[in-house]
Structure 1
Amino acid sequence: MFKIIFTSTYIIYLIITGIIVGLASGLLGIGGGFIMVPLQFFALKSLGVSDDLAFKMSLGTSLACIIPTAISGAYTHNKKSHKDILKPGIMLGMFGIIGGFFGGWVSSIVPSDILKLIFSGLLIIISINMLIEKNEKDKAIITFNIFTYILIGLLVGFLAGLLGIGGGAFIIPILTILFGYKMVEAIGISTIFIPFSSIGGTISYIIAGYGINTFPYSIGYVNLMNFILIIIFSIPMAHFGAKISYKINEKELKILFAMFLIIIALKMSSILPF
């Protein structure tokens, strides 16, 4: 049984995490898991939690936090967007729930080091493509139908659950490169998709951690204290970030997102220490 003393430093650490994650979620259409997972991991380690448990709880709690945070950003994007982003976001999300569930299940039982290296390489390729892409009218290479909804929803949802992230790092490049969406439209669709994929992954981590002596105030691998402290600040910041995204031009958004992808790639390949 854990005997934990929650310090003021620990609480402030989580509040700062919520602010950063919320802003990134609304602005870039991401879940913010790549920020929450390492920050929660180090916070839990500072309380004496073992590496394995701290990592699994960071993944599960991050996915739970992503749900309300992304919904806040999605609400603002849907109001401001001049294009229908609700239908593709929901359709992709319906299959993202399934993919997220299986991704979370696989992550809880199988080491993912090799997969992380593959994904990090893929993200670097995508980011380079976005940086060198000419600023022309975007043209769709493929269009949405039931097959593409199922394939992309399942695939991105699986990756989201596997890595404890919302999936925006994968779905936004797919929407801009293959489907011809403008960056801000892709971000809007991503914020609608992310809560669905995160629901599936969260359920997996709750089930996987059920009955295990995890951590005080936890349901499976989801810690309720971390969850509440983070979302109190991430929800309003996601709304603010979504509003800002419509004031930044297309080129600046692409550069910002490409830099974000490179950071994720380096983090996933363990080149960055945070």
Structure 2
Amino acid sequence: MSRTYVVTGSASGIGKATTKRLRDQGHDVIGVDLRDADVTADLSTQEGRTALVTQVQERTGGTVDGVIAVAGLVAASPVTVGVNYFGAVATLEGLRPLLEKSAAPRAVVVASLAALEETDEGLLRQLRANDEAAALKEATRIGTETNAAGSSPIYTTTKLAISQWVREHAKTAEWAGAGIALNAIAPGVIETPMTLAALESEEGRAALDEGAPSPLNGPAAPPAAPAALLSWLASEENTHVTGQIIFIDGGAESIRRPELV
């Protein structure tokens, strides 16, 4: 049966691969991005978030079966805070009323294995408090320094925060109680424009391998791999998986945290 999906970050990387996969399966997909999308919206701004919800509602008549929030940035910049956390939350919360009208509503967001890296306590506190102005100030304080893999505490902290948000909200009356499965995936290294520079340098590949050792099938997965997982989590077949952060990392998380069961 054909379903209606919204995929943010649809113009490139994991979002593009997910959009293609769903359309190839015969589903109606509304792609959202800064360009080359059905809905053009800047999710770092309140105006863009409002435009997303308004245009999706107009295009669908008010019902959406699946929301897949992929849009994200790795830049050591306050704008990453706006997109990765507040933009993702606004997408999920803003489209939740449309999901409630579906017979099998599902939502998934892209987190990251990078959430296991060093994070910033001050930024995390403001993200969890849902104080965007204060969070942006914290990101400015952190500055633009990155590690050899091109990652910064701004990026890692936003990914930890969105993972925690999913765990906190998935079990609530507004989500599970309304029949909406809410999950996140946590990719390791994926072959996307965000990781290309690191993958092309010896130093960058070494840094990625240190943080994301991948004994299964090498240092980087193609976008098609997380796209397949996202598609299943957002499908009718997923009747009971919710509140989970599912790592798709070639085994890295199990190496980094072997004590967890």
**Shared fold (TM-score greater than 0.5)?**
no
Q: TM-score, normalised by structure 2?
A: 0.35
Q: TM-score, normalised by structure 1?
A: 0.34
Structure with the larger helix share: 1
Structure with the larger strand share: 2
